[in-house]
């Protein structure tokens, strides 16, 4: 309440100061105007009287002169007229003025003397007791000499009265304005500020006391603006801290060891000490896009970004990536850097600029028409072009330059390179900085030596990767393929017992690091998701009792066509599920500049249309194909609503969709159908594992999943969730960091 009173008093004080200043200025202006007007009227009247008086002065007819003066005195605010000779002697005056002049003979003396001396008109404001007068004197000339002085005396008291009236009016105006402003301010402060603050305070208090986070009052969000966002962030931080404390207490009781962001942060400090962490990837974690006159910051759809973002948020450091947003250059500083995340910066993003033509050869060409199909044994022929290879080398060199600039003054830098876009980068960095500890993680499979040998530059790729201290894959099987490829194509010494490659004084460790997700972050997000299965069905116009979901990039390695045909076979084999089961495919467009991907997207759309035409009845259709980039918040309700989730990749490094689905099912319901060709199949053994090429087997798994008893679903989901919770993204990062730190000690 004191704050409200202070605000209202401050407003009243401002109004008063403004009113006084304005009244002072207006009074001065009005006083100056009235005085000038009086001076002007007195001058005009004096000139008129002068021509009438002068003839009688020459004839010295004093009696008639007094009558003439008295006659002229009958004017508005004119008190009287007086005539003096050159010796300051009163010759004639009006009756009303005569007594005052006789009692105060020297009241006009100064004015008369100045007129005599200077021989021109003069006006003066004088005081006579309580009266405010204006005396205007003009010389009467004879033979160009001043012989008499004509003086007109006006009442000037009305000028001060007019100024006083302005002050009185200003006082009442300011008083009324102050009252109304105070009243309106009180109402606004109470309704628009105090009430939302009280509601926000109660909301935060409930959370602090352990209540579940509910949606912040929309009215309060509107009124408090950005403060509401900060309140929500603070509340979520409190919730995270509370959950972390509870988890820590539970772990102490159960003697478990769960990796969290805080634990990873302390672990990095211990292991790296003075070293700094640098992450390199092609895809940036935050992209700025131009939307008309505004700039929008988005998180691009990427499993790699999903995996690495929590690590940088926990540990800080620098993420070096290609800038690809339309407003990316506008938002960085002179060194191409920006602090992210935007709402709560925790690490630095350094953007590297790649020209469009160069990127086509580097990304679309060599990386995705060459290495991607080469590494994914999905029966799509890889294409290798010399121009693409040159662009690939050039972009790797450009990133090497950026990395070396960032680590220039950093002792013992730790560099974590991501994926198949930068196979040459480790060696480029190592040649300039032997002290840098470099790890490259290959997120996609590694083929057998026979398949890898298809690449004309396979030796160059292996040499570039062996510049790393550590090379990581998702599975041991991929590690085996890599080390066999090295044995086949390069002269080196291989230690199969420790899985190391020794070549030209450089030792490289080949290790499996199965990647995962931030389990607790997903748990927190789903706690705030209010949509239910019924909401999802209504929004999509789905009339079905059972729901299946698939979440994929539109990539030929994801087994989407095989999945659709398995659903077709399922509906043929089990007609009782027609009009009861519907499947939603959330497909994110991917690499549309590559003809093979355009053809694949068209093929998926045709297959969906064909199957729907075959089975569709009235308001029901079996498949819904939603093609767009879906945010995490948009996908989560589908995970929670689905009875089954189909992950049928033909060849995949890990596949985080499977782990996201498991994490989203806090109700411990739902069934995961998982391809045996994913890395996740080695972690999530309680999923229904299928060969996606076997349409009949996948269809049978769909039936089995829909008919699985609830207690069986819960047992399987409980074990899979425990696996993802234990082997989370922080543990993945800790294992790589542990290896990098261990190598340094050696």
How confident is the model at residue 111, as a pLDDT? 66
**690: in domain:** yes
Helix (H/G/I), strand (E/B), else coil: 517 = coil
Claim to verify: residue 300 and residue 415 sit in the same structural domain: yes
Average pLDDT over residues 338-344: 88
The DSSP-derived string for 633-690 is: HHHHHHHHH-SEEEE--SS-S--HHHHHHHHH-TT---EEEEETTSGGGGT-TTSEEE
How confident is the model at residue 394, as a pLDDT? 97
In the 8-state DSSP scheme, what is residue 544? -
Final residue in a domain of this structure, among 117, 140, 161: 161
pLDDT per residue over 597-654, tens digit each? Answer: 999 999 999 999 999 999 998 889 999 999 988 888 889 999 999 999 999 999 999 9
Cα–Cα distance, 592 to 598 (Å, whole number): 6
Judged by average pLDDT, the poorest of 164-178, 211-225, 542-556 is 211-225
CB atoms under 10 Å from CB of 356, counted, come to 6
How confident is the model at residue 254, as a pLDDT? 44
Claim to verify: residue 370 and residue 393 sit in the same structural domain: yes
Claim to verify: residue 555 and residue 508 sit in the same structural domain: no
**517: in domain:** no
pTM surpassing 0.75? no
452 to 368, 372, 423, 549: CA distances (angstroms): 15, 11, 14, 34
Most confident of 129-143, 416-430, 534-548, 581-595: 416-430
Claim to verify: residue 506 and residue 599 sit in the same structural domain: no
> Does residue 253 have a pLDDT over 50?
no
**613: in domain:** yes
The Cβ-side half-sphere exposure at 186, using a 13 Å CA radius, reads: 11
| The token pair that represents 211 in the structure block | 């209540």
| The token pair that represents 313 in the structure block | 């948020």
**Among 318, 308, 306, 323, CA closest to 345:** 318
Cα–Cα distance, 568 to 558 (Å, whole number): 18
Judged by average pLDDT, the poorest of 4-13, 35-44, 216-225, 722-731 is 216-225
pLDDT per residue over 512-526, tens digit each? Answer: 999 998 887 776 666
Claim to verify: residue 472 and residue 583 sit in the same structural domain: no
**737: in domain:** no
What is the pLDDT of the chain when averaged over all its residues? Answer: 85
Claim to verify: residue 224 and residue 270 sit in the same structural domain: no
Query: Any idea what the CATH number is for the domain that residue 58 is in?
Result: 3.30.450.20
Final residue in a domain of this structure, among 463, 490, 512: 512
Claim to verify: residue 419 and residue 351 sit in the same structural domain: yes
Cα–Cα distance, 337 to 239 (Å, whole number): 32
Judged by average pLDDT, the poorest of 126-140, 189-203, 598-612, 660-674 is 189-203
> Does residue 209 have a pLDDT over 70?
no
Locate the DSSP E strands across 76-181: 78-85, 90-93, 122-128, 131-142, 145-155
Q: Could you give the percent of the chain with pLDDT greater than 90?
A: 47
Residue 473 CA to its chain's centroid (Å): 35
Claim to verify: residue 405 and residue 374 sit in the same structural domain: yes
Claim to verify: residue 496 and residue 535 sit in the same structural domain: no
How confident is the model at residue 627, as a pLDDT? 92
Average pLDDT over residues 564-568: 97
pLDDT per residue over 240-251, tens digit each? Answer: 666 666 555 555
* 213 and 235 Cβ atoms separated by less than 8 Å: yes
Cα–Cα distance, 617 to 619 (Å, whole number): 6
For residue 380, the enclosing domain spans: 265-512
How confident is the model at residue 64, as a pLDDT? 63
Judged by average pLDDT, the poorest of 86-100, 286-300, 490-504, 613-627 is 86-100
Claim to verify: residue 443 and residue 542 sit in the same structural domain: no
Claim to verify: residue 28 and residue 124 sit in the same structural domain: yes
How confident is the model at residue 108, as a pLDDT? 67
**114: in domain:** yes
Average pLDDT over residues 358-371: 95
**508: in domain:** yes
Please count the structural domains in the chain.
4
Tell how strand 688-690 and strand 644-647 pair up. unpaired
**176: in domain:** no
Residue 210 or 424, more confident: 424
Query: Residue 199: in which H helix or E strand, if any?
Result: helix 195-208
How confident is the model at residue 192, as a pLDDT? 67
**Please, which pLDDT band fits residue 580 given cuts at 50, 70 and 90?**
very high
Query: Any idea what the CATH number is for the domain that residue 363 is in?
Result: 3.40.50.2000
pLDDT per residue over 274-316, tens digit each? Answer: 678 999 999 999 999 988 888 988 887 666 787 788 888 888 8
| The token pair that represents 271 in the structure block | 């292991």
pLDDT per residue over 48-85, tens digit each? Answer: 777 777 666 655 656 666 676 666 666 667 777 887 77
Cα–Cα distance, 324 to 334 (Å, whole number): 17
Residues in contact with 397: Cβ distance below 8 Å, sequence separation at least 6, in sequence order: 424, 428
> Does residue 88 have a pLDDT over 60?
yes
Final residue in a domain of this structure, among 482, 512, 542: 512
**171: in domain:** no
Claim to verify: residue 402 and residue 506 sit in the same structural domain: yes
CA angle 593, 596, 602 (to 5 degrees): 90
| The token pair that represents 300 in the structure block | 């691009």
């Amino acid at each position: 309440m004191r704050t409200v009173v202070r605000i209202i008093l401050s407003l009243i004080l401002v109004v008063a100061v403004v009113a006084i200043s304005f009244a002072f200025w207006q009074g001065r202006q009005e006083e100056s105007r009235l005085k000038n007007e009086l001076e002007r009227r007195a001058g005009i009247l004096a000139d008129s009287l002068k021509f009438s008086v002068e003839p009688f002065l020459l004839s010295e007819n004093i009696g008639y002169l007094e009558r003439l003066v008295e006659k002229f005195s009958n004017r508005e605010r004119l008190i009287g007229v007086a005539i003096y000779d050159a010796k300051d002697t009163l010759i004639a005056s009006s009756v009303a003025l005569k007594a005052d002049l006789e009692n105060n003979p020297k009241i006009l003396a100064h004015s008369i003397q100045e007129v005599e001396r200077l021989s021109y008109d003069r006006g003066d404001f004088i005081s006579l007791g309580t009266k405010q007068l204006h005396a205007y004197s003009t010389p009467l000339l004879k033979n160009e000499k001043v012989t008499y002085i004509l003086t007109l005396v006006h009442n000037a008291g009305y000028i001060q009265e007019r100024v006083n009236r302005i002050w009185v009016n200003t006082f009442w105006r300011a008083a009324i304005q102050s009252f109304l402003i105070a009243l309106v301010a009180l109402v606004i402060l109470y309704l628009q500020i105090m009430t939302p603050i009280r509601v926000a305070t109660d909301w935060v208090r409930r959370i602090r006391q352990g209540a579940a986070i509910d949606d912040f009052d929309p009215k309060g969000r509107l009124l408090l603006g950005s403060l509401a966002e900060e309140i929500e962030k603070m509340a979520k931080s409190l919730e995270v801290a509370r959950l972390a404390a509870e988890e820590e207490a539970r772990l102490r009781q159960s003697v478990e060891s769960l990796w969290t962001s805080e634990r990873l942060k302390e672990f990095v400090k211990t292991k790296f000490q003075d070293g700094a962490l640098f992450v390199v990837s092609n895809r940036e974690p935050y992209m700025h896009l131009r939307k008309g006159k505004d700039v929008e910051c988005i998180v691009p759809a990427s499993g790699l970004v999903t995996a690495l973002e929590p690590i940088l948020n926990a540990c800080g450091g620098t993420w070096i990536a290609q800038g690809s947003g339309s407003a990316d250059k506008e938002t960085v500083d002179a060194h191409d850097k920006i602090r992210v995340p935007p709402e709560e910066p925790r690490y630095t993003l350094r953007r590297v600029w790649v020209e469009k033509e160069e990127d086509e050869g580097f990304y679309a060409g060599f990386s995705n028409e060459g290495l991607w199909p080469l590494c994914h044994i999905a029966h799509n022929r890889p294409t290798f072009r010399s121009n693409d290879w040159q662009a690939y080398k050039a972009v790797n060199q450009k990133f090497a330059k950026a990395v070396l600039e960032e680590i220039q003054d950093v002792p013992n830098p730790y560099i974590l390179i991501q994926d198949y876009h930068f196979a040459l980068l480790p060696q480029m960095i190592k040649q300039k900085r032997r002290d840098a500890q470099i790890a490259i993680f290959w997120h996609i499979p590694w083929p057998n030596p026979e398949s890898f040998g298809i690449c004309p530059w396979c030796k160059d790729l292996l040499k570039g990767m062996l510049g790393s201290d550590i090379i990581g894959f998702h599975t041991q099987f991929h590690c085996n393929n890599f080390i066999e490829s090295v044995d086949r194509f390069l002269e080196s010494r291989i230690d199969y017992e420790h899985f190391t490659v020794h070549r030209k004084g450089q030792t490289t460790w080949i290790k499996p690091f199965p990647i995962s997700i931030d389990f607790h972050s997903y748990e927190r997000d789903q706690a705030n998701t209010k949509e239910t299965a019924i909401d999802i069905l209504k929004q999509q116009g789905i009339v079905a009792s059972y729901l299946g979901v698939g979440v994929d990039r539109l990539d030929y390695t994801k087994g989407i066509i095989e999945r659709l045909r398995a659903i077709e076979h399922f509906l043929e084999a089990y007609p009782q599920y027609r009009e009861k089961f519907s499947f939603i495919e959330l497909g994110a467009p991917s690499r549309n500049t590559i003809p093979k991907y355009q053809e694949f997207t068209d093929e998926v759309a045709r297959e969906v249309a064909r199957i729907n035409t075959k089975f569709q009845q009235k308001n029901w259709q079996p498949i819904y194909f939603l093609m767009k980039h879906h945010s995490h918040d948009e996908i989560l309700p589908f995970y929670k609503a689905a009875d089954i989730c189909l992950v049928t990749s033909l060849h995949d490094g890990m596949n985080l969709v499977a782990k996201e689905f498991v994490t989203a099912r806090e109700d411990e319901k739902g069934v995961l159908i998982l391809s045996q060709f994913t890395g996740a199949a080695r972690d999530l053994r309680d999923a229904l594992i299928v060969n996606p090429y076997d349409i009949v087997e996948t269809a049978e798994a769909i039936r089995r999943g829909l008919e699985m008893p609830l207690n069986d679903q819960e047992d399987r989901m409980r074990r899979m969730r425990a696996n993802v919770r234990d082997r989370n993204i922080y543990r993945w990062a800790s294992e790589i960091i542990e290896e990098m730190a261990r190598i340094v000690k050696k």
